[in-house]
């Protein structure tokens, strides 16, 4: 479960579908209920998203997604990462405990 409202979640999902429809997106970090090593989100906590299934050809779409999220009316920052760039231990944790936003985990 995520600590964001339904409208905010739909905004994020809409942009993911628009820019990277084939990628799997998993939310992780303080906005995920029960995430290890955290005490829950603060009002200004960012939303962390790991994208799985990206290819070299997706770099431009990823840049556009980041810009779209930055310009969106969301009240907090969204940090989007290629899952391949995460440290192996964090990537494994995201795969186990992350919340699906788009695609199939």
Backbone angles phi, psi at 101, to 5 degrees: -105, -30
Q: Is the pTM value of this prediction over 0.85? A: yes
Strand partners, 100: 26
Mean of per-residue pLDDT scores for the chain: 92
Task: Give per-residue pLDDT as tens, 64-92.
Answer: 999 999 999 999 999 999 999 999 999 99
Task: Give per-residue pLDDT as tens, 34-71.
Answer: 888 767 677 778 999 999 999 999 999 999 999 999 99
End-to-end CA distance of the chain: 15
Task: Give per-residue pLDDT as tens, 5-42.
Answer: 999 999 999 999 999 999 999 999 989 988 887 676 77
Delineate the domains of the chain, giving CATH numbers in brackets.
6-102 (3.30.460.10)
Q: Which tokens in the block code for residue 62?
A: 């990823």
């Amino acid at each position: 479960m995520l600590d964001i409202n339904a409208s905010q979640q739909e905004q994020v999902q809409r942009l993911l579908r628009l820019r990277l429809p084939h990628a799997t997106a998993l939310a992780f970090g303080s906005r995920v209920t029960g995430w290890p090593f955290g005490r829950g989100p603060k009002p200004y906590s960012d939303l962390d998203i790991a994208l799985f299934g990206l290819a070299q050809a997706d770099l431009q779409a990823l840049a556009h997604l980041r810009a779209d999220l930055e310009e969106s009316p969301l009240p907090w920052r969204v940090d989007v990462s290629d899952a391949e760039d995460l440290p192996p231990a964090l990537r494994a944790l995201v795969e186990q405990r992350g919340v699906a936003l788009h695609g199939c985990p």
